[in-house]
Structure 1
Amino acid sequence: MPFLRRTATVTATAALLGGASWVARAAWGLPVALGAGRRQLRPTVAGSPQFSDGKFHNSMPTPAMSPANARDGLLRQWHEDRHKGLPGGPIPVVSPELPADAGELAVTWFGHSSALLEVDGHRVLLDPVWGHRVSPSPTFGPTRLHEPPAPLESLPPVDAVLISHDHYDHLDLPTVRGLTRTQTAPFVVPLGIGAHLRGWGVPEDRIVELDWDGATTVAGLTLTCTEARHFSGRFFTRDTTLWSSWVVAGPRHRVFFGGDTGYTPAFAGIGARLGPFDLALQPVGAYNDAWHAIHMDPEEAVRAHGDLGGKVLMPIHWATFNLAFHRWAEPVQRLLTAAAARDVQVVVPRPGERVDVLAPPPLEDWWTEVGSAEDAAGGDLAPETGLVTAVASRAYRGLTSRRR
């Protein structure tokens, strides 16, 4: 395997330079964490309409990175703005209070895109990531900005585990192994991800792989794999597994889970076929002009919510990992401004907090006190960010007064 040969070469060179132990720590476990290779994946995915020329494709042209921003501008941002996404203080983490029996419609957010749904008396775990670092290496890569709100072993039995795609901040090897040991639920995943899971010890009878528009029924819930606009990959090779959003539909309630996606007109079609939705979990963070096609910004999340026919909107894909160059609290501040303009009901739980979607509490601003590390250090707000903060504050007060 070329990667193994490269790793061996780097390790041998480092040994000559006296740095073998450091490189060995960085490379430890890499081949396993990377998941299945192209040869293992191809037989399981080649029949998909989304798969051609050796990889999966979005239904519309989708550059992973804008050429105009992929050069000096992005390098400058990395140099100047990489610390903006750090919080200015401790992120308040709540110890989850989960009922013995699943409720009619509730959600507990564990940070980033990880959440536990309760739909019509059943539980579905979404993109669970309990690992400390979203990277194949124990030494390199983004680390958590807050601890998991509860140990993985403390979760109640779930009926299904849904995965949106195979990026490290959505598919985490230690978490998969933990759930394989502590739960009996199936992993319901987009095409190709099953090969990763098999290599990590998940039994074949606990893996359900679906293409876009494919569905399966688990414990009375219909789980439908729906289109997203993104990409996949755990190393240099990309798009060898499928990415998706998900619809969780019970006899009485419906939930949309965006996972990680850019804006796409396909949301309107999903809403027409499978909506409307009582709750939509939409990604709002890690946006940047350089990769605008594959990550929604907060305003697009509100637009997608309308396309889907969503009622209550909960932001995900923010707060837990520093993956972009915007300030830590900015995604929610911008989201509230956009939501107020369209009179969209928003819930913003703390990590670990459970929300009864049928009787959501009034918005409580806990993110402003946390703030951004740059602000806490006395850095000047960019004029446009200051404006966003001020407008979002007014929008928050307006939404709160209307909900009371």
Structure 2
Amino acid sequence: MTKQRIVPIALGIAGAAWVARAAWGLPAQIGATTGKIAPYAAGSARYRDRRFHNTEPSSSFSGGGDESILVSFLRRRAQGKPQQPIPLAPQVAPVDAGEIAVTWYGHSSVLVELDGKRILADPVWSNRVSPSRTVGPSRLHPTPVALDALPAVDAIVISHDHYDHLDKATIVRLASLQTAPFVVPLGIGAHLRHWRIPEDRIVELDWDDQTEVAGITITCTEARHFSGRGLKRDLTQWASWAFAGPKHRVFFGGDTGYTVKFAEIGAKYGPFDLTLLPVGAYDPRWADIHMNPEEAVRAHGDLGGDVLVPVHWATFNLAFHPWSEPIVRLKAAADSVGVPTVVPMPGQRIDASRGSQDDRWWARLG
């Protein structure tokens, strides 16, 4: 066989091997099928025509903007990464949970301490947020702490089923390390069952449903977003969450566009000592389902929030804005109306009862 024939054959074999690696385990990563999800979703008033719907008309992609997605990718994608490594805070995990504190592990992964209890929300410890282990957005910084180094938690809460919020490997590992229940929006329980999470550890809620865990009332509240892990969208519900203890309250936005429903949530379940609100991955082309920083400040006011802690930024490059722009814009908008904000670095614990301050760490990274 000639060299001219060997080279294409070798390239073809290498390409096939790469595709095989990229596709390895996809069905398990994607989760439950439509048929397994539908029986749990069908009871919701928001579930019609075999899919969930936002209260306000919403598009996950409007197609507008000054340039195409391809042009944006080619021209501006590199802006989403800092010029220097993102710093990690030293691990701080008190033996006893605090009265009102939060540790940010990156993106939307947070550990909330509320009246002596702990709630872990949207835990994602994998390197990529994708059904593939070799393709998809990867971390801009390492995980600040190993999963097995987390303290015992009282509940694990999920906002929706996108890969940057619901990660199979993390969920399966947590199920073996922790004994806490998984509290999720309607339909997501089917994914957990597919991954062999015990039925008695799954609590599924619709908007405005509540459950009590360890003396903390956990309420599934409305969000303006969408869902989907495969080719079909909106098979499972998406949500924000309100956590209420005997003395303090926390709102967790997960991932959402701005909605007038925040004012109703604030009136019904607030006011909140802390609001944890998404501020990154925004773009005019998907403005309905991702808030920008100014909208996060507005939502914080609607919710009756005291201190705003931004999430959903700096860990995965998911849009086309400069990596630190969400916080620059957030600080400017918050300062203009007197909203207190704290911006932790990944792994940093913020004790709101002590009036913690940030040191503008992001400004040093370029």
Q: TM-score range by the shorter chain?
A: over 0.9
- Identity among equivalent positions (%) equals 60
What is the TM-score normalised by the length of structure 2? 0.96
Unaligned runs of 5+ in 2: 1-8
**What per-residue deviation string (whole Å, max 9, x for no partner) do you get for residues 21-40 of structure 1?**
11110001100000111111
Q: Give the counterpart of 1:83 among 73, 78, 83.
A: 78
Paired residue for 1:44?
40
| 2:3 corresponding residue in structure 1 | none
1:139 aligns with 2:134: yes
Amino acid paired to 1:31: P
Q: Secondary structure at the match of 1:82?
A: helix
2:269 aligned residue: 274
1:2-401 equivalences under 5 Å are 17-18=12-13, 19-69=15-65, 73-371=68-366
Quote the offset at 1:168 in angstroms: 0.3
Deviations 1:285-336 (A, max 9, x none): 0000000000000000000000000000000000100000011111000000
Q: Deviations over 1:110-139 (max 9, x none)?
A: 000001000000000010000010000011
Is the Cα contact below 8 Å between 1:74 and 1:290 reproduced in 2?
A: no
| d(CA) in 2 for partners of 1:317, 1:72 | 24
Query: 1:155 offset after TM fit, Å?
Result: 0.5
Distance 2:105 2:355 in 1: 17
For these two proteins, the number of residue pairs brought into alignment is 357
Write the letter of the residue equivalent to 2:204.
E
Q: For the Cα contact (< 8 Å) 2:100–2:352, is it kept in 1?
A: yes
Partners of 2:292 and 2:64 in 1: how far apart? 19
Distance in 1 separating the partners of 2:88 and 2:160: 26
SS at match of 1:267: helix
Cα distance in 2 for residues equivalent to 1:330 and 1:22: 35
Aligned CA-pair RMSD: 1.3
**Which blocks of at least 5 consecutive residues in structure 1 are unaligned?**
1-13, 372-404
Residues 22 and 224 of structure 1: CA distance in aligned 2, closer, same or farther (over 3 Å): same
Q: How far did residue 20 of structure 1 move?
A: 2.4
Q: Is the Cα contact below 8 Å between 1:96 and 1:108 reproduced in 2?
A: no
Distance 2:63 2:145 in 1: 41
What secondary structure sits across from 2:79 in the alignment?
Answer: coil
TM-superposed deviation, 1:368: 0.8
> Once the 2 structures are TM-superposed, how far is the Cα of residue 363 of structure 1 from its aligned partner?
2.8
State the shift of 1:72 in Å: 5.1
Confirm or deny: 8 A CA contact 2:64 2:284 kept in the other structure: no
Tell me the CA shift for residue 216 of structure 1: 0.1
